[in-house]
Structure 1
Amino acid sequence: MKASFFALPLAALLSACTATTSLRSTDPQLTVAVNDEAPLALGSPVKKTYNATSFGHYRFKATKEGMEPMYGLIPLKFNGGYLAADILFFAPAMFYNLREVYPFYEFDVENGVVRYKRNADDQWVSYKPTAAEQQHAKNYFLK
């Protein structure tokens, strides 16, 4: 009985450290690999769930036949709610889950940008990976 009493809150706490996002592309022939996951075909939007992180990155490689791959880091949002909960309930975790994926991403290899937004009705924010971010991701995928 005691084990299940502690297991349920622990499971709820751990599941709260993830976020689901929708990945799409301006080109239906585009595939995107994120970290060590298999490439995703973005002919239609794909929903994925990723862990929150403070120090890690989500590297990507976007490819389309006949074009040079696009490399970079997926922009992440700061989650102040996680910080407040960590401070109140489990202070040692406050440095491990401060950033998470945005709910919506759009990859545009032709223009070299990743667009993201918090809500479906929001305007897209365009992000162009820096040369250092591109090289970091390229090194990761070519290892």
Structure 2
Amino acid sequence: MKPSVRPVRRIGAFEMALALGGLLLVLLAVQNASPAFAALRGDGVPGTFTARRLDCIQHPGHEQCVWVGTFRSRDGGDVRQDIGFYGSERGTFTPGATSPAFDTGRRGHVYGPGGSNEWVVVAALFLAGLGLVARPLLWLARLPRARRRARQHS
């Protein structure tokens, strides 16, 4: 009796879409890795943040606020207007209040002396992206083993 031949399975459109989505996550994580790890280490241009206004967004059952103001480097050479203070909340500042801060070059915000744990999100995005990219490759790698097992049991 002739053994049955199974058709060769290929990577489908869904798997390719997942892999492309994973690649986008990896690229996003790589793009944000340097500022996130600089914030973790407290690396950047030191200076002072002066709070100007509180910007809040209302979500169902939740409010997210950030203080926006001016960052001035210690040497006065770098001034960034309308910059957010990462991790600030409604009660963090009052208008005109100042705090030590550092600028990692990240667009949109500066960090306080405590730095940030943004690296956790960046690492999670990177690992999730790698998993999605690797999924079709791992699936293809399993096929020869499954075929060998099927031949042994025939």
**TM-score with structure 1 length normalisation?**
0.25
Q: Point out the structure with max Rg over C-alpha.
A: 2
**Structure with the largest fraction of helix:** 2
